[in-house]
Chain A
Amino acid sequence: MNFLTSTITDAVNTATGMPGMDGVLDALPYMGYGMVGIFLVTGVIILTVSLLNKLTNKKDK
């Protein structure tokens, strides 16, 4: 049954030119890298802004 389903899916993908599951598997690492990357960059921004706030507020006082 699984074989039949995968054969039909493959046939549809080939006929329509869609990348299918291969495309999903290719894109999967980017999801991980993307979320890690965005949290890293925003983490650095948070730290920098917190530091700036501390330094400049002290100076203002």
Chain B
Amino acid sequence: MQLIEALFKPIIEQMEADPTLILKQLAMWVIGGILIYLAIKKDMEPTLLLPMGFGAILVNLPGIANVGGEVQAQNGAFHTLERLFDIGIDNGELMPLILFIGIGAMIDFGPLLRNPKYMIFGAAAQFGIFFTLCLSAYFFDLNDAASIAIIGAADGPTAIFVAQTLNSKYIAAIMVAAYSYMALVPLIQPAVIKACTTKKERLIRMEDNGKPVSKTTRILFPIIVTILVGFVAPDAVSLIGFLMFGNLIRECGVLDSLSETAQKVLANLITIFLGITIAFQMRASEFLQWETLLIMGLGLFAFVFDTFGGVMIAKFMNLFLKKKINPMIGAAGISAFPMAGRVVNKMGLAEDDQNFLLMHAIGVNVSGQVASVIAGGLILSFMAG
């Protein structure tokens, strides 16, 4: 009997303090299991959903989670995750920022630089963020509403950065929503695109203008964008600065080894820790609230209206253009890179097997990456003001 008591001491102590918590923790194991299943079986953002799923189980083991808001046991794993969260996310949002160096090094802005007007689609595709900000403000205070709205950017690091800077208490739910919807781009976007375009519009072919981009432009672009955004949205300068720093490493031509490290080793390393660190916030007592479901719903709303905004601006521009644009490329203006671009290309080929939209869609997609960071910066500036 004593042996059993000793073995199950943490569970017994927890049951005495809060009898219902064990049920909530079991529910979190199921959620963690679902995330792991989606990552492995459905290949949905496995780099993040798998660590988050495992972390959700880890922080909800009996006896090591919060009881009545206080940590009950001095468990190593729990406190290690807490420390990682403090260092990597809570203090200066280091992890999302460092990850942005890797993302910047991965992005080829060439297709955008050949057609700078594609930035318009990137801007329009942030409509869902600002529209959802209004809707979320019905249910949440402004800071939380803004953090939830940024899910529409389909940009994990920006979502973490904004939510953490605005001190949102829903960061875990926001993260799960942001990465789940990024993984669901191939399911969500085609439905929205088809709903707001005609078959005739989807059949529009686009030529590649094929203009070369000079190395000078490629090198100056990240520097100029950083300076511009620094003036307009100083709160986003660290985000855009790290993204563009990564891109400068890539484009300068003398730091190939660093560029390769940033793209692969650095990005992978941070990704491993980011997922499991975010899971620290997935404690049953904080995650299992009706607000989590509401946030998932609002995130989907933001995502749908981002896609809608991008498509509609292309349709609007077609009213005035001689050379029509295939409005589907507007949908690629979200930040989910390169998935959104690929989805649009696939849809174009499904309508007409000679309609290659990839270069245009990728140009719009990278503009969405920049525009989502600007949108995040503007939101931070508004909330700070």
Contacts and interface: CB of A to CB of B under 8 A. Distances in A.
Interface residues of B, number: 47
A19 B137 CA distance: 7
B134 A46 contact: no
Contacts of B371: 38, 42
Given A19-B141, A34-B379, A45 B370 contact: yes
Given A23-B138, A59-B214, A44 B228 contact: yes
Contacts of A48: 224, 228
25 contacts: A19-B137, A23-B139, A23-B141, A23-B145, A27-B133, A27-B134, A27-B137, A30-B146, A30-B379, A30-B382, A38-B123, A38-B375, A38-B378, A40-B232, A41-B229, A42-B122, A44-B228, A45-B370, A48-B228, A49-B112, A52-B220, A53-B211, A53-B214, A53-B217, A57-B214
B225 interface: yes
B143 to A, nearest CB: 11
Nearest to B225: A45
A41 B233 contact: yes
B112 to A, nearest CB: 8
A39 B378 CA distance: 12
B140 interface: yes
Contact of A23 (B142, B213, B220, B229): B142
Contacts of B142: 19, 23, 26-27
A35 B28 CA distance: 38
Given A42-B122, A45-B119, A56-B217, A34 B375 contact: yes
A60 B214 CA distance: 7
Nearest to A32: B130
Interface string B346-385: 0000000000000000000001001100110011001000
Interface in A10-61: 18-21, 23-24, 26-28, 30-31, 33-35, 37-42, 44-46, 48-50, 52-53, 56-57, 59-60
Contacts of B272: none
Contacts of A28: 134
A31 B133 contact: yes
Contacts of A53: 113, 116, 211, 213-214, 217
Given A27-B134, A38-B374, A50 B211 contact: no
B127 interface: yes
Contacts of B113: 49, 53
Interface string B130-161: 11011111111110011000000000000000
A21 B120 contact: no
Given A42-B374, A52-B217, A56-B216, A21 B138 contact: yes
